[in-house]
Chain A
Amino acid sequence: MTMRGANRPFCRFGLSFFIILLLPAYLCGQESIAPPSKVVAYDFKYDRGEAVELSWQLSPDDKGNGSISGYEIYRAEDPLDSFISIGFVSAGTSSYRDKSVYKGQSYRYQVATSSDGHLYFSEISAAVVPRMELINWNLLNLFIIGLFLCGSVIFFISHATRGKKLFIRKIAGLEAIDEAIGRATEMGRPILFVPGINDMDDVQTIAGITLLGRVAKVVADYDIRINMPVSRSLVMTTARETIREAYMGAGRPDAYSDDMVNYITDEQFGYVAAVDGIMVRQKPATCFYLGAFFAESLILAETGNSIGAIQIAGTAQPAQLPFFVAACDYTLIGEELFAASAYLSNEPKQLGSLKGQDMGKLLAMIVIILGVLAATVSQMGGGQFFTDIHQFLSNIFTVQN
């Protein structure tokens, strides 16, 4: 008895020691992680009812120390369906755009904090129904810019048709077209026209074909041969029609032949091999490369250079422009390709459209200069006002989708 009574204080101490020191330590190993809170799901605005935007407040335990691996997103079709995982975002992320929804269907969401293989679920969000909107107001800035550009083009077209003189700077590559065709005539060699390797759904190919119409008219007048190997069947039929019309316009329909345009292959390097072969065998006096070009640009242009042809190239592929500049006599850089047909036509209407295009450039220049100034002043401690201006100017040309 004495012994038990003597040990009682020690037992009490042992129990207190366990409660005060060991229990918290034990509980620490099993510590619960807080789930995210305030999960809100809302319809993504101004779309076709194809997205739901989800946002939540980060878990208080999400402190960037690696204790949380991320957030698992769960979704259920309201009201009875069970929740299934639809995505995962890393720690520190508090939003998610669900693009796998159907318009008109109701959805609920739940976000779970993921930590050491355990999931800690948030409250379930309110139901949301993705809807199709009538107008995409996110594109309002582009709509206004588009209106400005179209208005400028139409204004200058009407301005030009009233007989007002418009100044258009000389484009060397286009001035040289007649000279290049004349050279082929003198040498008695054919002209090679390559419209790129893209199909008729590419605006560069369309620009190339519009220029072909002008070139074909001169070719018909001078009675020389034009050879146009193409890599797309639709380009072949369109080009034939264009050349035929040009020959008819020149009063020489009998001189036209379908063989002027021939299909080679859709395959990029197969096409390049064939065109290189044609160049080396036929030795054209003039080569035109007008359209969309990729890795084949330099192979074609260097082969043309090696046979001593006058070469005029034009593309809107910025990565290929240096190759054409290095290897060709004249290069139409980007916008010049699109301006070519209007420039050569010398019609007031067409020239007016070029002037309208210049107004767009003026607008872009003004916005860039103001944006650079605002950003510079903002960086030098100019205050929130300049930061806001810079942000506003940046947003003007940004697609919000």
Chain B
Amino acid sequence: MRREVPLIITAVVGVIFVIQYFIPHAPFNQFNSWFSDWFAIIGACAIWLGALNLMRISADKIYRRRSGWGYAAIIIASFLLIATIGFAGGSQFRDPGTGFDWLYTWVYSPLSATMFALLAFFVASASYRAFRARNLEATLLLLAAFFVMIGRVPVGDAIGSFIHLPESLMPSKITIWIMGFINSAGQRAIMIGIALGIVSTSLRIILGIERSYLGGD
């Protein structure tokens, strides 16, 4: 029963969701919002599980003086600080000028932006590896990347004019062609594959053929 009940629930809910897509009439039209609400409620309750787990693991790490326990101490201190200030602010805790808003604007946002900014450097290092012309595919990738990058900036067309390239061979035009045809075609092929993969996976789960998310074969 421990395995059968989740399988039955999955199958019934899966079929209902397929039906509600094609039948706009009540009660099917309500299911989507009902299930979304239920999911939001369960998610909101489960956040405490996550928060408590984070606290427990961090406290355990400090208690046992495991490597990196200093980071765990910072996690607990930050968690308690922002939770206390948030709760102290009442229902308007997110309003401009509150302590929570100050922490969000001047601590959280800059830290987040710092992590995001790392992406620029990682793009550079990854591009360096990807664009090395080791074989035919990598060379084509390099050429495509060269034209797309140079076609995106005004200097690309300026160089094209300087060497008297015909209008249709201007870097900006080549960029549009690459993005509009080669790139779009590739992306759509991937999207079609993904859509079919989702259908197939959903069907396996609804039919109970796919059970590995329950830990079984």
Residue ranges of A at the interface with B (Cβ–Cβ < 8 Å): 46-48, 132-136, 139, 143, 146, 149-150, 153-154, 157, 199, 201, 203, 206-207, 209-211, 213-214, 216, 232-234, 236-238, 241-246, 248-249, 258-259, 262-270, 272-273, 277, 281, 295, 298-299, 301-302, 316, 318, 321-323, 325-327, 333-339, 341-342, 345, 347, 349-350, 353-354, 356-357, 360-361, 364
Residue ranges of B at the interface with A (Cβ–Cβ < 8 Å): 18, 21-26, 29, 39, 42-43, 46-51, 53-54, 57, 67-68, 71, 108, 111-112, 115-116, 118-119, 122-123, 125-127, 129-130, 187, 190-194, 196-205, 207, 209-210, 212-217
Residues A264 and B194 in contact, CB atoms below 8 Å apart: no
Residues B118 and A299 in contact, CB atoms below 8 Å apart: yes
Residues A357 and B200 in contact, CB atoms below 8 Å apart: yes
Contacts of A134 in B (CB 8 A): 23-25
| Sample of 5 A–B contacts (CB below 8 Å) | A237-B46, A333-B193, A353-B209, A356-B200, A360-B199
Contacts of A265 in B (CB 8 A): 54
Give Cα A334–Cα B202 distance, bound, in whole angstroms.
15
Interface contacts beyond A210-B201, A242-B213, A361-B196: sample of 15 additional A-B pairs, CB < 8 Å, sorted by A:
A48-B24, A48-B25, A132-B26, A211-B212, A232-B50, A234-B46, A244-B215, A259-B57, A267-B112, A273-B111, A316-B197, A321-B190, A335-B194, A342-B204, A360-B200
Residues A263 and B122 in contact, CB atoms below 8 Å apart: no
Residues B213 and A209 in contact, CB atoms below 8 Å apart: yes
* Residue from A207, A249, A325, A333 in contact with B216 in the complex, judged by beta carbons closer than 8 Å: A249
Tell me how many residue pairs across A and B have CB atoms closer than 8 Å. 212
Give Cα A238–Cα B204 distance, bound, in whole angstroms.
18
Residues A136 and B54 in contact, CB atoms below 8 Å apart: no
Contacts of A338 in B (CB 8 A): 194, 197-198, 200-201
Residues A46 and B24 in contact, CB atoms below 8 Å apart: yes
Give Cα A334–Cα B189 distance, bound, in whole angstroms.
10
